[in-house]
């Protein structure tokens, strides 16, 4: 069914979102602080709004894709949000999202917070999905429209949850790929390492004997970290060797050195005889 939807923020991500809504036959209104960015979308049939307030007035569903939540405040100012559902897919902290929910509510609207888990070229593909949190009823009312962007995954009423899930996965993503960069530099070529890295990552995600993600998740849930086969003290020594190898190769060692320090502090906290999962006890301790 055709719906009216507004997209505010027309960077690479926002433009891709607006284009997908157009592809699905929706009536799309767009606004961006740099007005020229709306041109290609207007040429495709979107309506260009002169102001953010005008863009909000055009649709019951308003989707944001901006740098952060401050950009939403700056864009909307004192705009009337009565009856509007604002779906903000911008990045920020979970605490900021919770505060923003009150800000939107004071102006008559409802905020649904989100985090979309693909880059702009992936918008609307079968692999695309987004986490959403906040009030479930307005999300479900517009879920059919939002599915143009990817699968709708609702994670709870707490507005901060969508960003917590989003940033948790980004942390896994970034640290994994950064580790691959270090490994590629250490062995002298990305293509040399690539097949082995893919093999290891696939095994880690499996439920077989190398399925460390599933095994670690179970340990973290129970708070028990068996170390009989591979204790943390041994792994901390191995991490020291990794850092030294990186330094000897003339590479920046700050990233592996931070990991070495985390392992060391976990051993010093009394977890040396336990497994790698015991590092989580240090992570949760400020």
Q: What confidence tens digit (pLDDT) does each residue in 89-118 have?
A: 999 999 999 999 999 999 999 999 999 999
Q: How far apart are CA 202 and CA 284, in angstroms?
A: 28
Handedness of CA 205, 208, 212, 214 (dihedral sign): positive
Q: Phi and psi (nearest 5°) for 167?
A: -75, -30
Residues 223 and 184 in one domain: yes
The 10s digit of each residue's pLDDT in 188-246 is: 999 999 999 999 999 999 888 888 999 999 999 999 999 999 999 999 999 999 999 99
Residues 67 and 17 in one domain: yes
Q: Which domain holds residue 78?
A: 4-157
Residues 84 and 149 in one domain: yes
Distance from first CA to last CA of the chain, Å, rounded? 50
* Residue among 255, 227, 218 at smallest CA distance from 239: 255
Q: Which of 157, 187, 210 is the last residue of a domain?
A: 157
CB 64 within 8 A of CB 8: yes
State the CB neighbour count (10 A cutoff) for residue 158. Answer: 15
Give alpha helix (H) positions in 156-278. Answer: 161-187, 190-205, 212-222, 232-248, 254-266
Residues 153 and 182 in one domain: no
pLDDT at residue 208, as a whole number: 81
Higher pLDDT, 211 or 278: 278
Domain count, the chain: 2
Q: How far is CA 120 from the centre of its chain?
A: 13
Residues 39 and 136 in one domain: yes
Residues 90 and 172 in one domain: no
Question: What is the residue-wise DSSP string for 63-123?
Answer: EE--SSHHHHHHHHTT---TT-EEEE-----HHHHHHHHHHHHHTT-EEEEEEE-S-GGGT
Residues 202 and 135 in one domain: no
Q: Which of 135, 157, 179 is the last residue of a domain?
A: 157
Residues 49 and 140 in one domain: yes
Q: Which of 104, 129, 157 is the last residue of a domain?
A: 157
Q: To which H or E segment does residue 225 belong?
A: none
As a whole-number percent, the residues of the chain with pLDDT over 90 amount to: 96
Non-local (6+) Cβ contacts of 26 within 8 A are: 2, 3, 4, 5, 145, 148
Residues 14 and 153 in one domain: yes
The 10s digit of each residue's pLDDT in 29-61 is: 999 999 999 999 999 999 999 999 999 999 999
Beta-bridged to residue 112, according to DSSP, are 87
Q: Residue 74 corresponds to which tokens in the numbers above?
A: 């700056």
Which CATH number goes with the domain that contains 150? Answer: 3.40.50.720
Sheet holding 129-133: strands in order across? Answer: 47-48, 27-31, 4-8, 61-64, 85-88, 110-116, 129-133, 151-156
Q: How far apart are CA 136 and CA 41, in angstroms?
A: 30
pLDDT at residue 44, as a whole number: 97
Residues 28 and 47 in one domain: yes
pLDDT at residue 1, as a whole number: 65
Q: How far apart are CA 150 and CA 69, in angstroms?
A: 22
b/e for 267-282, b at 16 or more Cβ within 10 A? beeebbebbbbbbbbb
pLDDT at residue 32, as a whole number: 98
């Amino acid at each position: 069914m055709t719906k009216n939807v507004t997209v505010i923020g027309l960077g690479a991500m926002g433009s891709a979102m607006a284009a997908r809504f157009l592809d699905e036959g929706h009536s799309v209104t767009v606004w961006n602080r740099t007005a020229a960015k709306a041109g290609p979308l207007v040429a495709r049939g979107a309506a260009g709004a002169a102001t953010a307030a005008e863009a909000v007035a055009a649709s019951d569903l308003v989707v944001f894709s901006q740098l952060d939540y401050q950009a939403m405040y700056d864009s909307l100012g004192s705009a009337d949000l009565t009856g509007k559902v604002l779906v903000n897919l911008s990045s920020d902290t979970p605490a900021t999202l919770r505060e923003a929910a009150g800000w939107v509510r004071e102006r008559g609207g409802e905020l649904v917070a989100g985090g979309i888990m693909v880059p702009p070229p992936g918008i609307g593909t079968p692999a695309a999905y987004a986490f959403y949190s906040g009030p479930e009823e307005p999300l479900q009312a517009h879920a059919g429209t939002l599915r143009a962007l990817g699968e709708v995954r609702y994670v709870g009423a707490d507005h901060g949850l969508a960003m917590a899930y989003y940033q948790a996965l980004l942390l896994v993503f970034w640290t994994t790929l950064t580790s691959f960069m270090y490994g590629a530099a250490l062995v002298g070529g990305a293509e040399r390492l690539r097949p082995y890295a893919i093999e290891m990552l696939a095994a880690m995600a499996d439920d077989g004997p190398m399925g460390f993600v599933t095994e670690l998740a179970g340990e973290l849930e129970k708070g028990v970290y068996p170390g009989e086969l591979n204790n943390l003290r041994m792994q901390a020594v191995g991490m020291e060797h990794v850092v030294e190898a990186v330094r000897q190769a003339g590479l920046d060692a700050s990233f592996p050195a931070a990991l070495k320090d985390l392992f060391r502090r976990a051993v010093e906290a009394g977890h040396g005889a336990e497994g790698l999962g015991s590092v989580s006890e240090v992570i949760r301790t400020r």
